[in-house]
């Protein structure tokens, strides 16, 4: 039997940016009706390659065939016409519009002829068919990140995409949502569609994909059949060395006597706050974080974790209770106050709260430093000191950037995170609030960040670590507090914690015999 031609064939794709070859003669063959995973470290060139396929970038060299036919993809419109649709790493939805309006946005049919009712019905039908539940009349700003992603996928399906590209679709999802997405993707390929998905999570690659292509530093290094490989092999291909999956905390010892004498650097007392929608998000939360300690906060997204981080860092008002930073009252003070007390913050949303995309790498690195005497003498920023300071951070934190004067937005996702961590660790005192610090990072970089957190702890920092990744929490925390519906269900020492027990608390059940 003569097999179908591959859905996608990319040959010798070259894409250069100033100072980098993002894709260096890359070949990629994706069989129709399969789920194909694209793996690689941060900055390996995955998003670039897919942006070429989606018509956002013109390659400097190379050929593309779609279902066996040679094609030129000059614009996203060309890609749509060829049945290629992409859901980007950073979503591109219009917040003040409804789901249905977003889905038809940019379609070339005359808008006045469109009947919203019919469109909404069509969307509902697609939603039901693929288990992508979302209300077509809801406004985007009302939706959770997981729901927004469903809108992006529905948008592609509505346009008739039969080759779907998903750039790190699960980086923003809870474990349950990720599993659901996996089932949806399976369903789509059973109907004959083709899916390319980029991820850093090897469990997902093993669970959902048929084949895997690995990129390293812009080049293709492996094409594998998922069933014939392993997580370890994939990790080795990606990073080019053996990778430790879990860090041994005993490599970062802390003296118990020193720790015992310490006073807490962060005290949260009976804290309450409201969500964006004006509903109670924190309902009387209390805990302390001591020097030489990482307190992990576990919980399913949306149970108050984000609000907690925002109230502590001064970005959201408290409606009750008290916060002490380094033994000083910091309740309802501006963010500058917390920064002056030495608080570092790795926010959930790097692009909007953490970094300024249109500024250079260097400017982002010194954002919090400009008041330092060395860097700003008599109010003038001393150029040479700044250059030295930022080059040191770029080196020390291994930020892959052509130079300090590169615009931040051209860095890859993982390198953005490194820049943020570099600035926060360099500027910070002894107190850090880290929200999903390893989200979107490759395994090598995840290991690196976790080690940085443990190093800070070993130097005496108090760290509040908010994460949805239980393995991560168990690996690096000293104690784990579980949040559910704005309350703390319990706090357990990480070494004695059981995954099942924490899982129950995450679902709102207080296990028996557990004191706090
Ligand atoms: N628009 C751009 N301008 C300049 N350089 C870019 C641009 N887009 C990407 N690059 C560079 O190309 C290289 C590959 O980036 P790309 O975003 O494709 O990586 P990635 O594999 O998707 O990484 P991540 O896992 O971190 O998202 C990086 O060095 C990045 O800095
Ligand atoms: Mg990317």
pLDDT tens digits along 33-79: 999 999 998 889 999 999 999 999 999 999 999 999 999 999 999 99
| Residue of minimum CA distance from atom 1 in ligand 1 | 410
pTM of the model: 0.79
Give distance in angstroms: CA of 43 to centre of ligand 1. 5
Residue 350: which residues within 8 A CB-CB, separation 6 or more? 416, 417, 420
Average pLDDT rounded to a whole number, residues 237-259? 80
CB 122 within 8 A of CB 130: no
Length of the chain, in residues: 516
> What counts of helices (H) and strands (E) characterise the chain?
17, 22
Residue with tokens 């399906």: 157
Give distance in angstroms: CA of 84 to centre of ligand 2. 18
Give distance in angstroms: CA of 17 to centre of ligand 2. 15
User: pLDDT confidence of 193, banded at 50, 70, 90?
Assistant: very high
Pairwise CA distance, residues 507 & 140, whole Å: 27
- pLDDT given at position 421: 87
Average pLDDT, the chain: 88
- pLDDT given at position 223: 96
Average pLDDT rounded to a whole number, residues 221-241? 92
- pLDDT given at position 414: 81
Average pLDDT rounded to a whole number, residues 486-509? 87
What would the pLDDT profile of 107-141 be if each residue is shown by its tens digit? 766 555 668 888 899 999 999 988 888 899 999 88
Ranges assigned E (strand) in 290-335: 293-298, 320-325, 328-329
3-state secondary structure of 216: strand
Of 139-148, 341-350, 377-386, 398-407, highest mean pLDDT: 398-407
Decide whether any atom of ligand 1 lies within 6 Å of the 417 Cβ: no
H or E stretch including 10? Answer: strand 8-17
Residue 516 has pLDDT above 50, yes or no: no
Give distance in angstroms: CA of 190 to centre of ligand 1. 32
3-state secondary structure of 264: coil
Decide whether any atom of ligand 1 lies within 6 Å of the 48 Cβ: yes
CB 493 within 8 A of CB 293: no
DSSP string, 89-102: SS----TTSBHHHH
Pairwise CA distance, residues 287 & 305, whole Å: 14
- From 10, 13, 16, 17, mutation site for ligand 1 pocket: most ligand atoms within 8 A of C-beta: 17
Decide whether any atom of ligand 1 lies within 6 Å of the 43 Cβ: yes
CB 73 within 8 A of CB 34: no
Strand partners, 11: 63
Decide whether any atom of ligand 1 lies within 6 Å of the 55 Cβ: no
Domains of the chain, start order? 8-239 (3.40.50.300), 246-342+430-516 (3.40.50.300), 355-428 (no CATH)
Cα 147 to chain centroid, rounded? 16
Pairwise CA distance, residues 152 & 165, whole Å: 11
The residue among 278 and 247 whose pLDDT is bigger is: 278
What would the pLDDT profile of 206-221 be if each residue is shown by its tens digit? 999 999 999 999 999 9
DSSP string, 14-74: EEEETTEEEEEEEEEEE-TT-EEEEEE-TTSSHHHHHHHHTTSS--SEEEEEETTEEE---
Decide whether any atom of ligand 1 lies within 6 Å of the 324 Cβ: no
Average pLDDT rounded to a whole number, residues 399-411? 90
Decide whether any atom of ligand 1 lies within 6 Å of the 44 Cβ: yes
């Amino acid at each position: 039997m003569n097999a179908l031609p591959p859905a996608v064939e990319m040959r010798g794709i070259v894409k250069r940016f100033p100072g980098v070859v993002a894709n260096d003669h890359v070949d990629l063959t994706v069989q129709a009706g399969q789920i194909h995973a694209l793996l690689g470290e941060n900055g390996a060139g995955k998003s670039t390659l897919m942006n070429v396929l989606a018509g956002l970038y013109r390659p400097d060299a190379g050929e593309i065939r779609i279902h066996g036919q040679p094609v030129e993809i000059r614009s996203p419109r060309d890609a749509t016409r060829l049945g290629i649709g992409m859901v980007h790493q950073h979503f591109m939805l219009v917040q003040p519009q409804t789901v249905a309006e977003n889905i038809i946005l940019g379609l070339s049919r005359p808008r006045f002829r469109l009947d919203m009712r019919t469109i909404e019905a069509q969307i509902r039908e697609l939603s039901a068919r693929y288990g992508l539940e979302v209300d077509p009349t809801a406004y985007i700003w009302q939706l959770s990140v997981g729901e927004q992603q469903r809108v992006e996928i529905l948008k592609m399906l509505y346009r008739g995409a039969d080759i779907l590209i998903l750039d790190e679709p699960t980086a923003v999802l809870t474990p349950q949502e990720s599993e659901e997405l996996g089932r949806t993707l399976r369903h789509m390929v059973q109907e004959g569609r083709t899916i390319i998905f980029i991820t850093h999570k090897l469990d997902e690659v093993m669970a959902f994909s048929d084949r895997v292509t690995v990129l390293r530093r812009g080049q293709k290094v492996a094409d594998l059949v998922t069933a014939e490989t392993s997580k370890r092999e994939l990790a080795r291909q990606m990073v080019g060395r053996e990778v430790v999956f879990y860090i041994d905390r005993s490599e970062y010892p802390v003296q118990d006597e020193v720790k015992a004498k310490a006073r807490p650097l962060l005290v949260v007392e009976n804290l309450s706050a409201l969500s964006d929608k004006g509903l109670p998000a924190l309902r009387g939360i209390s805990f302390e974080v001591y020097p030489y300690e990482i307190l992990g906060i576990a919980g399913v997204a949306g149970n108050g974790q984000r609000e907690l981080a925002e109230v502590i860092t001064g970005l959201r008002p408290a409606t009750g209770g008290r916060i002490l930073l380094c033994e000083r009252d910091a309740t309802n003070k501006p963010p500058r106050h917390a920064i002056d007390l030495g608080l570092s913050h790795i926010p959930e949303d790097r692009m909007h709260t953490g970094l300024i995309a249109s500024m250079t790498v260097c400017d982002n690195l010194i954002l919090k430093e400009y008041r330092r005497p060395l860097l700003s003498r008599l109010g003038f920023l001393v150029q040479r000191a700044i250059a030295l300071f930022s080059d040191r951070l770029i080196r020390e934190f291994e930020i892959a950037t052509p130079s300090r004067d590169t615009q931040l937005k051209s860095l890859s996702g993982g390198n953005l995170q490194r820049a943020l961590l570099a600035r926060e660790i360099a500027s910070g005192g002894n107190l850090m609030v880290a929200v999903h610090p390893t989200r979107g990072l490759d395994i090598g970089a995840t290991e690196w960040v976790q080690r940085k957190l443990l190093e800070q702890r070993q130097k005496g920092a108090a760290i509040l670590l908010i994460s949805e990744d239980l393995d991560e929490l168990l690996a690096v925390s000293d104690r784990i507090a579980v949040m559910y519906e704005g309350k703390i269900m319990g706090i357990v020492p990480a070494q004695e914690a059981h995954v099942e027990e924490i899982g129950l608390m995450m679902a709102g059940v207080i296990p028996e015999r557990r004191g706090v």
